Structure 1
Amino acid sequence: MLDVALIVIAILALLCVIFEDLIHIDKAKTTLLLGTISWLLLFIFSPSISQTEHINDALMTNLTEISTLWLFLVAAMTFVAYLNRKGLIENVMNIVMPKKISLKALLFFTAIFSFCFSSLADNITATLVSIALVLSLGLPLKQTIRFSVLVVFAVNSGGVSLITGDVTTLMIFLQQKVSITELLMLIVPSFVTVMLLAALLSIGITGEVRIKKQRNDIATVDYMIAAIFLATIIFTLVANVMFSIPPVLSFLTGMAVMFMVATLYGKHNDNDPILDYIRYIEFDTLLFFLGVLLLVGMLEHIHALNGFMYLYDSLPVSVANYLMGIVSSLIDNVPLTAALLKAEIAMTTPEWLSFTYAVGVGGSLLVIGSAAGIVAMSKVEGLTFATFLRYSGLLLLTYSVGYTMVLLLANAFF
C-alpha cells in the first residue's frame, strides 16, 4: 500500500506541474512539498532498523547527486545574472543588430541569437533575454507569437549540445553516458533544424522594422567578469577532457574568481555587493529541480521506474528515444531524464546522444513542455497553449529531421 501511495504522490506532483496555470501554485512549491513528504513516509513506515538504514543510504546518494547539479547551476546562473543586470548582454545585442532589418532576416537573427545565447546561459535566462528582444520590436500579435515559437525551439536546441546550456544534458553527462566532445556533435543537427524552422516560419512574412538602440555604460570590471565567464566555460570543457575535472568544481572556481576580481576592483560595496547577485538567480527553478529529483529518487528506491524498461524492451531503442522526446512535451524533461537514468537502460553512445537530443528538444512541441515555453507564455500576452499548438506540426517536423540527423551522424562517427 505504501508503494501505491508514493506513486500516487508522484503522479499528483506531475499533475501540479502540468496544470500550474490553473491551480496558481508554483511548481517549485508543489514538487518540493510532495518530494520531501514522499521520503518522510518512507522513513515513518519503514518495517525495520536495517530497512531504515537502507532508506537513509538511498537518500544520501540522492542528495549528493542533487547537490552536484545545484552547485553547478548556482555558479552558472550567478554569472549570467550579473552580466544581464549590468546591461552587457543588451549591449551585445545592440552592437550586432542593424538599425533597420527585414522581418525575414530578423527571424533568422533571432534564431541564431537564441541558439547561441542558450549555449552559454540557462534556458530560462536565454528565453527571458530573447523574448525581451522580440517584445521590444512592437510587432503585431500573430508575428510576435511566430517569433516566440521560434525562440522556444531555438533556446531548447541551442542548449542541448553543451552541459552549460541544458539541465538534462548536464544530468546525462554527470552520469558518464556521453563525453563533452561527443555532445559537441549535436551542434550541427540542432543548428540546421533551427534554421529550417526559421525558413518555414518566414514563409509569407513581409515588412521591415527599425531597431531602437540604447547603450548602457559598462565598467571595465564588468568586461573582465564577462571574460572570466567565457574562460570558465572553456576551462570546464578542456579540464574535463584532459584531467577529468568535474564541471561543478571548474564553475565554482570561476565564480570564486569573479567574486575576488569584483572585490579587488572596488565592486564590493554597500550599494552593490557582489555576493548579492546570487539572489538574482532563478531559485524557484532550482527548488523545482530539487523537488523533482527527490521524487525520482524515491521512485527509484521503490523500483517504480522499471516501467521504462518495458518500452525499451518492446521497441527499438531509436524509436523509444524518439517517443520519449515527444513525451517530454507533456512531462517535464528533468524528471523524465532522471527516471530513465535511474532505470539504468543500456544504450550505445549514438543512442545516448539521440536521447539527449530528444528530451532536450522534444519539449518544444508544446508550450508547457519546457521551461523556455512556460517563460515565453508568461511574458507574451496572447501566447497560450492553443495558439502555440497551431505550430506543433512544424515543430514536430523539425524535431523529427533533427533526430534523424543525430542518429545518422552519431552512427557514422561513433
Structure 2
Amino acid sequence: MHDTMLDLTSTWVGIAVLAVFVIGYYFIATEEKYELNKAKPALFIGTFSFMLIGIYYALNGLSPDPLHEEMRTLIEEIAEIFFFLFVAMTFIETLIERGVFDVLKYKLVSKGYSYKKLFWLTGLLAFFISPVADNLTTALILSTVLFTIDRDNHKFLVPGAINIVVAANAGGAWSPFGDITTLMAWTAQKGEFIDFLFLFVPSIGGWVLTAWLLARFVPAGAPAFDASSEAAPQMRDGGMTVVYLGAATIVIAVLGHQFFHFPAMWGMVFGLALLKLYSFRLTKQKRDSFDIFVNMQKIENDTLLFFFGILSAVGALHYVGFLNYIHDLYGVIGATASNIGVGFLSAIVDNVPVMSAILKASPEMGLDQWMLVTMTAGIGGSLISFGSAAGVGVMGRLRGIYTFGAHMKYAWTILAGYLLSLALWYIQFEILGLY
C-alpha cells in the first residue's frame, strides 16, 4: 500500500464504500431470488466504489497520485486473472467443439459406472490434476465432463459440482502453482517448493471427509445408456492435439513463472497463440477447419466480468483501509486463530486480496503458520460458492444448477472437512513436527 494513502474508514467515503459492498454482496448472494446475474451487481460496486473515492479526493483537494498508483496495481492484478481465465475458457470451448468431452463422457458412461462411482472418480481427478493444472482450470474441465454425463439430474450435478470445487481447491492448496494464493506465498518466499507438499495430508483428509458426507446425497443408479442406440462419438480432427496444446500451455505458464518470474497469464496467452496458429494450419489443410474466434464467443463473459467487479470492489475496501483490520487480528488473538479466521474471510471476501493483505503486512510467523494460512486461504474459499476462482468458474459453467443457494445447502459438509484439515495440520505440524 502506498505510503501516502489515508485511512478513510471513518470518513463518509469509507462508510459509503462499505455500504455499497454490503448491498452489492446481498444481490450477488441472492442471484436466484431476483434473477439478477451476479456479474451485474459485482461490476457496479467495483467501479462505483472507486468513483466515490475519486469524488472524495477531488472535493478535498487531495493529490490523486496514490489513488492512481493503487488502481494501476489493481488493474495489473485483475488483468492477470482475467486473461488466465480467458485462455482457460477458450481451450475448454475448443475441446467441447472438437468433441473431446463427448468421447470422454461416452467412455465413462459406457462402462456402466454408477452416479456414486462417477462422483468419486471426478473428485479424485480434480484433487490430483489441480496441483499441476491449477484449481480453476481443473474445475472448469471436470464440471464440463460432469454436465455432459447427465445434464438433467440435478441431484447428481449439485453434489458432484461441490465435490469438484472442494477437491480442486484442496488439491491446489498443496502445490505452489495449484492456486493463486499458494503462488503468491511461494513467490513471496514464505516457503520453498517442497514445503507446500507437506500440506498434502491435511488437504486430502479434509476433502475425503466432505466427499464422504456429500456422497450420501448422490442418487443411486447410473446414467441411462443404451449401447444399441448410442453410437460412439467421434472426436473431430485435431482434438487430441488441442489436448496436448492445453497441457503444454499449463507447463509453459508454470515454467515461465518459475524460471523467468513471468505472470502465469503470459504463458497462457502464449499457449493461446499456439492454438490459433494450429487452427490456421488445420484450416489450410482443409481437413476439418475451425475458428478459435467462434469458440471465444461461447465463453462465459459474465464470469470474467464478475471477477473484474468483485476484485475491484475488494480493492476499494483495501484502499480505504478496511482490510487493515485483518492485520490487527494477529496482534490481538495470535497467529493460529487469525489464520483459521482467514479461511472464513476468504470465503466471504475472496482469498486473493486477503492473502495479498497478509503478505503485505508480513506478520512475524514461522513456516508452520505460513503453511497454515496458505491452506486456509485456499480451502476456505470452498465454504461459499463464489469464495474461490474454482467455485465462480463452475457457477458459470453450470448456470442455474450450481448456485449460491444450492451450494449453501451442503455447506456444512465443507465446514466439517475444513475443520478436519485444521486438526490434521495441528497434529502434523504442531505435535509431530513433520514439515
TM-score, length basis structure 1: 0.81
**Among 302, 326, 339, the residue aligned to 2:320:** 302
2:91 paired residue number: 79
**Among 55, 78, 83, the residue aligned to 1:66:** 78
1:225 and 2:238 aligned: no
Farther off after superposition, 14-23 or 329-338? 329-338
- Paired residues of 1:71 and 1:252 also in contact (CA < 8 A): yes
Secondary structure of the residue that 2:80 maps to in structure 1?
helix
1:32 and 2:43 aligned: yes
**Among 33, 38, 53, the residue aligned to 1:42:** 53
1:6 paired residue number: 17
Taking structure 1 as reference, are residues 247 and 106 closer, same or farther at Cα in structure 2, changes over 3 Å only?
Answer: closer
**Alpha-carbon offset, residue 145 of structure 1:** 5.2
**Among 346, 367, 376, the residue aligned to 1:358:** 376
Matches within 5 A, 1:10-409: 10-46=21-57, 51-95=63-107, 99-102=111-114, 104-116=116-128, 120=133, 121-122=136-137, 125-126=140-141, 128-133=143-148, 135=150, 146-161=159-174, 166-169=179-182, 182-202=195-215, 208-209=221-222, 212=225, 215-266=232-283, 272-333=290-351, 336-337=354-355, 340=358, 345=363, 347-366=365-384, 369=387, 370-371=391-392, 374=395, 378-380=399-401, 385=405, 391-406=410-425
CA distance in 2, matches of 1:88, 1:389: 32
- Paired residues of 1:127 and 1:372 also in contact (CA < 8 A): no
Secondary structure of the residue that 2:63 maps to in structure 1?
helix
TM-score, length basis structure 2: 0.77
Farther off after superposition, 272-281 or 157-166? 157-166
- Percent identical among aligned pairs is 25
Farther off after superposition, 267-276 or 126-135? 267-276
Query: Cα deviations across residues 179-210 of structure 1 (Å, max 9, x unaligned)?
Result: 66554554554334333434445569896536
- Paired residues of 1:94 and 1:215 also in contact (CA < 8 A): yes
Letter in 2 for 1:297: G
CA distance in 1, matches of 2:78, 2:56: 24
CA distance in 1, matches of 2:409, 2:29: 19
Taking structure 1 as reference, are residues 11 and 344 closer, same or farther at Cα in structure 2, changes over 3 Å only?
Answer: farther
CA distance in 2, matches of 1:34, 1:268: 49
How many residue pairs align between the two structures? 410
Letter in 1 for 2:203: S
Taking structure 1 as reference, are residues 12 and 345 closer, same or farther at Cα in structure 2, changes over 3 Å only?
Answer: farther
Query: Cα deviations across residues 238-258 of structure 1 (Å, max 9, x unaligned)?
Result: 343344343222222111111
CA distance in 2, matches of 1:202, 1:328: 26
Secondary structure of the residue that 1:100 maps to in structure 2?
coil
Structure 1 vs Structure 2 CA RMSD: 3.8
Letter in 2 for 1:18: A
Letter in 2 for 1:128: S
Secondary structure of the residue that 1:101 maps to in structure 2?
coil
**Alpha-carbon offset, residue 320 of structure 1:** 2.0
**Alpha-carbon offset, residue 51 of structure 1:** 1.5
- Paired residues of 2:104 and 2:145 also in contact (CA < 8 A): no
- Paired residues of 1:333 and 1:359 also in contact (CA < 8 A): yes
Letter in 2 for 1:293: L
Secondary structure of the residue that 2:279 maps to in structure 1?
helix
- Paired residues of 1:134 and 1:144 also in contact (CA < 8 A): no
- Paired residues of 2:172 and 2:178 also in contact (CA < 8 A): yes
Farther off after superposition, 63-72 or 398-407? 398-407
